[in-house]
Amino acid sequence: MIRHTYRFLGLALGVSLAFSANALPTLSFVERTGVVGPNDVVDIRLRLTADSGGLSFDSASPVSLDSLRNWLNLNYGSHYTRLDNVYTTIAIGCAGDTFRPTCYNTDGPYSFGFSHDFYGRSSLSLAAGAAVDFLFGQYTPRWGGVPTGDYALRDAAVLLVLSGARQVEVETYDEYGNPTGMSWKDEEIRGWYQGLAGTCPWGAGADCQFERTVRGSTSQVPEPALPALVLAGLFGLWATRRNRACGR
């Protein structure tokens, strides 16, 4: 299992999530490389591609959920015993993102916002080898534009949010408190994140990451309050001159 730190759509905190190294669907950046200007908004688009077995689920169908449960257990080493509900969500990796130095929009040349294009889908049907493209999110330059140079993002992910039950391995003890071994027990889950596919598997090189080269000169964009201050100043100047004219 591979661990990454991600920020999820709708959550303000980065959390750890275990991904399977044997994930069958693949996730890749659409238009992985390109050139933009210092004040351009950068769209990030992803492509989720099903493997030879396809990918299908429907939360309204118990039969479909049971089929998904078996598929997850077989291909991801999961131990789900029951699925009651499932929907999709997305996450962005905190490490290796040079568009912004942290998972938060408090500093850095860009701020980031998730798209809701692929969030909250309770059903999905992809035939073997079929793919779906969607807008993942956008990087927006801060006031004044960003410095020229190269920027990269490595990790984006598609996940399933599950409710139901799974088996967990726990240590057992005798009547004297001595460990006697391990056993399995059922545990209810609500809002459980199951990694489905990520853009850059463990050990992958730079050829999987999203890259943009910023070229051109920055054009100073006024702060939102500046036009209002200018208008207020002009109005004050006009009012002063008007009062002087009336007092003559």
The domain ranges of the chain are 2-220
Amino acid at 94: C
pLDDT in tens, 98-119: 998 777 767 788 999 999 999 9
pLDDT in tens, 87-99: 999 999 877 889 9
Q: How confident is the model at residue 8 (pLDDT cuts 50, 70, 90)?
A: low
What mean pLDDT comes out for the span 134-143?
Answer: 93
Mean pLDDT, the chain, integer: 80
Please say whether the beta carbons of 89 and 165 come within 8 A: no
pLDDT in tens, 21-51: 444 899 999 999 999 999 999 999 999 999 8
Tell which phi-psi region holds residue 246, choosing left (phi > 0), alpha (psi between -120 and 50) or beta. alpha
pLDDT in tens, 188-232: 999 999 999 999 877 777 889 999 999 987 655 444 444 443 333
Q: What is the pLDDT of residue 224?
A: 46
pLDDT in tens, 190-201: 999 999 999 987
> pTM of the predicted model, to two decimals?
0.76
CA 140 to chain centre: 16
Read off the tokens for 181: 């071994």
Q: What is the pLDDT of residue 68?
A: 94
Task: Report the candidate in 60, 24, 67, 6 with the shortest Cα–Cα distance to residue 193.
Answer: 6
SS3 at position 115: coil
Amino acid at 164: G
